[in-house]
Amino acid sequence: MKTIVCPCGNPENHEDCCGRFLSGTSIPQTPEDLMRSRYSAFCRGDIEYLISTLYPSKRSPDDRETLARTIRETQWLGLKIITTGIEEADENMGVVEFAAFYKSTETGQLHERSRFIRESGLWYYLDGQTLDPVKIGRNEPCWCKSGKKFKKCHGRS
Ligand SMILES: [Zn+2]
Ligand SMILES: [Zn+2]
C-alpha cells in the first residue's frame, strides 16, 4: 500500500501522525503535536476538530462559518515548525512558533507564535500573534517537502 505522508509534513503515515489525534484514538501530548494536528485538520477540512481543540472561552458562535470559509478559500502547502516549548513558570502553557505556507488568491505565508494551554490533561489552542514572514534561504530545502532546494521549487521567481 502507498504510504500517505501526513499533511503536517512528517514523513510518517498520516494515521500514525496527526490522523490518530483527528480520529480521537490518541490525545496530543505536546503543544507541537496539537499544532501539527490542527494544521492537518485545516488541510483536511476537519472543522469539528478545530473547534474542539480551541480553548472554550475563545470559541464564538460563528467559528464554524469562519472556518468553513477559510478552508474553502485556502489551500495549505506546507508547515515549518520554528520553535516549540513549555513555559518555565507554568508547565501548562506552551508556545509554538511556525510558518505555514498557503495558496489562496496567491501564495502566502502565515508566521505565527501560538500559545497553548493545558487543562485537565488536554492541550488547547489559546491564541496567536502574527509575525513578519520568515525569510527562507534560497538553498534551504523547500517547505513543501519536495526534496528540492527552495530556489528550484516554490522560491522560483
Ligand atoms: Zn502529522
Ligand atoms: Zn516547494
C-alpha cell at 135: 525569510
The DSSP string of 23-49 is TTSS---SHHHHHHHHHHHHHHT-HHH
Instruction: Calculate how far, in angstroms, residue 115's C-alpha sits from the geometric centre of ligand 1.
Output: 19
C-alpha cell at 121: 490533561
Categorize the per-residue pLDDT at 107 as very low, low, confident or very high, splitting at 50, 70 and 90: confident
Instruction: Calculate how far, in angstroms, residue 65's C-alpha sits from the geometric centre of ligand 2.
Output: 30
Residue appearing with cell numbers 490522523: 19
Q: What are phi and psi of 154, to 5 degrees?
A: -70, -10
Instruction: Calculate how far, in angstroms, residue 33's C-alpha sits from the geometric centre of ligand 1.
Output: 8
Q: Are 46 and 29 in contact (CB under 8 A)?
A: no
Looking at the CA of 145, name the nearest ligand: 2
Q: Which helix (H) or strand (E) holds 114?
A: strand 107-119
pLDDT at 125: 98
On average, the pLDDT of the chain sits at 94
pTM recorded for the entire structure: 0.92
Q: Is 96 exposed, middle or buried (0-12, 13-18, 19+ CB in 10 A)?
A: buried
pLDDT at 5: 82
Is the model more confident about 157 or about 97?
97
pLDDT at 23: 97
